[in-house]
């Protein structure tokens, strides 16, 4: 009599679950702040995730953790039209407006002079690119330059759709120049421009 062999079914070994990668939300938040300080337009969560190479949900968590921390500050972090950006606090709008308008009667600040020089030598240029060159947010300074008639909008950037800016004829008039080609050859020294006050001093008279 032949005994039937009882085969033991093979047990499939399942791979151990891979623990989800952990991310430092505080570090992500700092990186997000650095990016938002120089952007020209609101930045989407997907774009931030791509740049920082972290999951979108981690970006969302970091943004939602950051936003409330600015409630008592002079600026806020808001999601508008699908993107995030810093904005001056609505309660400070009167002060901001007064500052911008009063600036028409005051001398240009060092920050305004440096921003104006970057635009003059790199025009047409977007506000984001100016911010990147200077390493600071230039939104308020740009508004001052536009208000004073030294800078104006000049179409949109093809790749990003960002607004481009250039100097005006009034800028040339104040410097006593016939064309931009008459500007001193300072472009190679940007953004560290020596003698900036002397070159643009006529704008502050």
Q: In this structure, what CATH number is given to the domain that contains residue 35?
A: 1.10.10.10
Do both 128 and 168 map to the same domain? yes
Task: Region of 126 please: left (phi>0), alpha (psi -120 to 50) or beta.
Answer: beta
Do both 109 and 71 map to the same domain? no
Query: For residue 62, with 0-12 CB atoms within 10 Å meaning exposed, 13-18 middle and 19 or more buried, which class applies?
Result: buried
User: Which has more confidence, 69 or 9?
Assistant: 69
2 in a structural domain: no
pLDDT in tens, 141-164: 998 899 888 999 998 888 888 899
166: pLDDT strictly greater than 90: yes
Do both 97 and 191 map to the same domain? yes
Do both 108 and 165 map to the same domain? yes
Do both 170 and 150 map to the same domain? yes
198 in a structural domain: yes
User: Which has more confidence, 17 or 180?
Assistant: 180
36 in a structural domain: yes
State the pLDDT at residue 54.
Answer: 93
Do both 97 and 174 map to the same domain? yes
71 in a structural domain: yes
Tell me the β-bridge partners of 84: 43, 79
- The encoded tokens of residue 181 equal 């080609």
| CA distances (Å), origin 29, targets 12, 48, 86, 168 | 43, 11, 13, 38
Do both 119 and 197 map to the same domain? yes
Mean pLDDT of the chain: 79
pLDDT in tens, 19-57: 345 578 889 999 999 999 888 788 999 999 999 999 999
User: For residue 5, what pLDDT band results from cuts at 50, 70 and 90?
Assistant: low
Do both 114 and 81 map to the same domain? no
Do both 189 and 110 map to the same domain? yes
pLDDT in tens, 56-72: 999 999 999 999 999 88
Instruction: Indicate the number of domains in the chain.
Output: 2
pLDDT in tens, 88-144: 888 888 887 777 666 555 678 888 999 999 999 889 999 988 988 888 888 889 988
205: pLDDT strictly greater than 80: no
Long-range contact list for 48-55, CB < 8 A, 24+ apart?
48/84, 52/28, 54/23, 54/28, 55/23
Number of other residues whose CB lies within 10 A of the CB of residue 93: 10
Number of other residues whose CB lies within 10 A of the CB of residue 125: 21
Do both 131 and 171 map to the same domain? yes
State the pLDDT at residue 119.
Answer: 93
Question: Of 61, 88, 115, at which residue does a domain stop?
Answer: 88
What percent of the chain is modeled with pLDDT above 90? 30
10 in a structural domain: no
1 in a structural domain: no
178 in a structural domain: yes
What is the pLDDT averaged over residues 173-179? 80
Q: Which residues constitute the domain of residue 127? A: 93-204
**pTM metric for this prediction:** 0.49
- The encoded tokens of residue 15 equal 């791979």
Do both 99 and 198 map to the same domain? yes
18 in a structural domain: no
């Amino acid at each position: 009599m032949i005994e039937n062999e009882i085969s033991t079914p093979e047990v499939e070994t399942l791979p151990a679950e891979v623990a989800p990668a952990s991310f430092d939300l505080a570090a992500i938040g700092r990186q997000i702040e650095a990016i938002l300080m120089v952007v020209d337009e609101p930045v989407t969560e997907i774009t931030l995730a791509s740049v920082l190479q972290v999951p979108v949900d981690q970006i969302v968590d970091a943004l939602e953790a950051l936003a409330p921390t600015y409630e008592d500050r002079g600026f806020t972090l808001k999601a508008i039209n699908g993107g995030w950006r810093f904005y001056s606090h609505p309660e400070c709008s009167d002060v901001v407006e007064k500052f911008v308008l009063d600036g028409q009667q005051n001398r240009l600040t060092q920050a305004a002079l440096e921003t104006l020089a970057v635009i003059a030598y790199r025009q047409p240029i977007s506000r984001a690119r100016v911010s990147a060159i200077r390493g600071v947010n230039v939104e308020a300074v740009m508004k001052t330059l536009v208000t004073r008639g030294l800078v104006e909008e000049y179409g949109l950037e093809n790749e990003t759709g960002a607004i481009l800016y250039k100097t005006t004829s009034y800028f040339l008039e104040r410097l006593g120049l016939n064309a931009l080609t008459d500007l001193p050859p300072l472009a190679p020294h940007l953004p560290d421009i020596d003698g900036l006050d002397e070159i643009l001093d006529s704008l502050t008279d």
